Structure formats: C-alpha cells, structure tokens
C-alpha cells in the first residue's frame, strides 16, 4: 500500500499541475473576455493563486469553493475574499453578481489503521473560501477574485471556468439515487464498511433507499477517514456528522458510506468505487448530501464544510 505521505504528495502534485494548466481555462474556444479573463496565466506572474475546488459547477445555485495558495504552493488561510462573477458567453463579459466569500478552516487529520496507539492522526491545517453563486446559463464564465491580506487589497485575479447544464453528481432538487449500500445487516464486521476510529455503527443501519422511504430528512456522508487524499474526511465526520447526529438523531436519518471498497484499499491500495459512489457519480471525497422528506436533494457540500451551513440545510429540509 502506498504510504499516506506519498498519497498526499501525489495529490499536491496533481493540484499544482491543475493550477498550471487550468488556471484561467474552462475548456471554451470562445474569445469572449480573453482580455479580462485570459485563457492562460502562468504561476510565475502573480502573488497569490486561486483555484475552484468543486468537482463541477452547473446552471442554477452553487456553493463555490475556492482554494488560495502562494508562490510556494502554501495554502493561504488568513485572507478576506470578494468575488465578482461574469458571464463570458456573449461578445463581452457581462457582470452578474458580487459577493464576499466565507473562509472555512479545517484541522486536517486521518485514521492511521497501522498505529497501535493514537489512530486519529493530525495532519496540519487547510481551508477554503466559500460563496453562493447562481449561474443562469451554462457555458463560459469568469470570476475576479479580490483578496485582502494584512491590510492590503491586491489587484483582482481573473479566473475562467465552465458551467455545465447539470452537475456530474445529483443536483439540488434532483431525486436522490435510492442506493442500497452495504450496512451492518449484511456486513461481516463494522470494519468492512467503516474506516472510522472509533467506528460509527449508528450511521450504518439504513440504506439510502430505506432513508428515502422513511418520510424523514436524511444526511448522507460519502467519506473515508482512513484513506481520504485530502485528509478532510475524518474532520467532516467528527465536526459535522457527529454533532448533527447527537442533536437531530430523533428527527433525521444519518448515513455514512465509504466511497471505496475497503478490502481493495487495504490489500492493494486500489480505489475501487462502491456501487453507491458510482450511482451518485462522485469523483472526489468527502461529500455530504441533505435529502428532504420527498427524497430530493435539498443541499450538497463537497470537501471542506462548516457545521452551521449543513445544519441550516437540514433544518430547512425537515420543515
């Protein structure tokens, strides 16, 4: 099995490569906005570098998550950020909206299954800048990222991206896939379906299909605390799922799904997605979905998230 440090380093290299090649690109061949939103911007020409962390963005309401790094590829966790969104599908950029981004910090950690003492291992700090944005059409879009740090406001940083007609994963208002994932009812042992430490058997009682049929709101987390590349899965389970379960277990369903076959990961370091991961078309982890009483996706959160934003979505879904 690849050591966890190597897995994290590999992920960092992929991020850097993505920043170099996708810094201002959305895959569009349109020339609209090329002056304000160039297709290619090199890492060497700026002071700070934003990147959109979302798996995909789609027409409609989006929770846009932005990472910020400096020249040394170090996460910038002490800035204020304002975003100006532009539609680039016309002959010139059309301003659409402006908003502040909220910074959400995270103390990274993972479950070290090889440890005989402290399996919950700290792994530094990170964070993202999150804002809500509504994209009324699909196609080529741009955002100007205005960063204030240490009392100094930098020049707006242009970033170009693509908005899809529909996200790869289920969208807001979509019927949630009625997955029938493995639970304690048919697992040999909790460790077969949960890499948490300690395990969370209370979140492995119901299938998603059962939860949808229950006439209660549900919170479904796809997370792998021991094998998460970003090392944000364990924090999401500890700081979001556990407190919500403690407060709302009598009113809502809580489900944890390991996105990969744990046997394959432990024996051969192969990320083999389980059936539910494929049904939800997830390409990253962690994900948390809030499902309303009708079985529709009421909210979705990818990567780093805050307890209060997921809680607000759950309360609204239960009304």
pLDDT digits (tens, 9 = 90+) for 40-60: 655 556 789 999 999 999 999
Q: Return the pLDDT at 44.
A: 54
Q: Return the pLDDT at 91.
A: 87
pLDDT digits (tens, 9 = 90+) for 107-141: 999 999 998 777 889 999 999 999 999 999 999 99
User: What is the C-alpha separation between 272 and 277, in angstroms, rounded?
Assistant: 10
User: Residues of the chain with pLDDT > 90: what percent?
Assistant: 82
User: What is the C-alpha separation between 258 and 273, in angstroms, rounded?
Assistant: 9
Average pLDDT, the chain: 90
**Tokens 């605390």 sit at which residue?**
225
Answer whether 262's CB lies under 8 Å from 223's CB. no
Model confidence at 1: pLDDT above 60: no
Helix and strand totals (H; E) in the chain = 7, 12
User: What is the C-alpha separation between 100 and 110, in angstroms, rounded?
Assistant: 31
Q: Return the pLDDT at 238.
A: 98
Which helix (H) or strand (E) is 310 found in, with range? helix 307-317
Q: 2-41 burial, b for 16+ CB within 10 Å, e for fewer?
A: eebeebbeeeeeebeeebeebbbbbebeeebbeeebebeb
Model confidence at 97: pLDDT above 70: yes
- Output the six-digit token pair for 279: 């049904």
Which helix (H) or strand (E) is 97 found in, with range? strand 94-111
pLDDT digits (tens, 9 = 90+) for 250-284: 999 999 999 999 999 999 999 999 999 999 999 99
Q: Under 8 Å CB-to-CB from 179, ≥6 apart: which residues?
A: 207, 208, 209, 257, 275, 276, 279, 280
Q: Return the pLDDT at 125.
A: 97
Residue 23 vs residues 6, 126, 158, 160, 309: alpha-carbon distances, Å: 25, 20, 9, 7, 28
User: What is the C-alpha separation between 84 and 41, in angstroms, rounded?
Assistant: 18
Planar angle of CA 83, 86, 88, nearest 5 degrees = 145
* Rounded mean pLDDT, 25-29: 42
Q: Return the pLDDT at 250.
A: 97
Decide: helix, strand or coil at residue 161: strand
CA 81 to chain centre: 19
Q: Return the pLDDT at 46.
A: 78
* 27 or 231, higher pLDDT: 231
Q: Return the pLDDT at 29.
A: 43
User: What is the C-alpha separation between 32 and 91, in angstroms, rounded?
Assistant: 5
Considering only CA atoms, which of 159, 79, 96 is closest in space to residue 132?
96
Q: Return the pLDDT at 19.
A: 47
User: What is the C-alpha separation between 32 and 286, in angstroms, rounded?
Assistant: 35
Answer whether 270's CB lies under 8 Å from 281's CB. no
Confidence of residue 37 (pLDDT cuts 50, 70, 90): confident
Return the minimum-mean-pLDDT range out of 26-40, 116-130, 141-155, 179-193: 26-40
Model confidence at 87: pLDDT above 70: yes
Model confidence at 9: pLDDT above 90: no
Q: Return the pLDDT at 101.
A: 98
Return the minimum-mean-pLDDT range out of 14-28, 114-128, 230-244, 304-318: 14-28
* Rounded mean pLDDT, 154-164: 95
Q: Return the pLDDT at 17.
A: 45
User: What is the C-alpha separation between 27 and 160, in angstroms, rounded?
Assistant: 9
Residue 188 vs residues 191, 192, 247: alpha-carbon distances, Å: 9, 7, 29
**Tokens 């796809």 sit at which residue?**
222
Return the minimum-mean-pLDDT range out of 70-74, 216-220, 246-250: 70-74
């Amino acid at each position: 099995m690849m050591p966890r440090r190597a897995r994290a380093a590999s992920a960092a290299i992929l991020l850097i490569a993505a920043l170099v090649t996708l810094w201002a690109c959305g895959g569009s061949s349109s020339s609209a906005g090329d002056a304000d939103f160039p297709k290619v911007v090199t890492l060497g020409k700026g002071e700070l570098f934003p990147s959109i962390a979302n798996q995909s963005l789609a027409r409609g309401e989006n929770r846009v998550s932005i990472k910020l790094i400096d020249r040394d590829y170090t996460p910038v966790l002490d800035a204020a950020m304002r975003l100006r969104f532009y539609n680039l599908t016309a002959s010139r950029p059309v301003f659409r909206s402006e908003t502040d981004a909220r910074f959400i910090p995270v103390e990274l950690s993972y479950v070290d299954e090889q440890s005989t003492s402290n399996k919950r291992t700290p792994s530094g700090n990170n964070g993202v800048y999150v804002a809500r944005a509504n994209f009324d059409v699909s196609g080529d879009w741009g955002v100007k990222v205005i960063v204030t740090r240490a009392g100094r406001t930098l020049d707006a940083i242009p970033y170009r991206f693509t908005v899809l007609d529909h996200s790869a994963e289920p969208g807001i208002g979509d019927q949630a896939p009625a997955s029938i994932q493995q639970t304690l009812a048919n697992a040999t042992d909790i460790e077969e379906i949960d890499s948490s430490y300690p395990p969370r058997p209370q979140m492995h009682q119901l299938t998603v299909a059962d939860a949808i049929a229950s006439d209660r709101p549900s919170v479904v987390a796809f997370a792998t605390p021991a094998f998460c590349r970003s090392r944000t899965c364990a924090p999401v389970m500890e700081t979001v799922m556990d407190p919500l379960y403690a407060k709302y277990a009598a009113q809502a369903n809580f489900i944890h799904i390991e996105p990969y076959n744990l046997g394959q990961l432990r024996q051969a370091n192969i990320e083999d997605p389980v059936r539910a991961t494929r049904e939800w078309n997830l390409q990253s982890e962690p994900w948390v979905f809030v499902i309303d009483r009708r079985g529709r996706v009421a909210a979705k959160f990818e990567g780093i998230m805050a307890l209060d934003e997921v809680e607000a979505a759950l309360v609204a879904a239960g009304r």
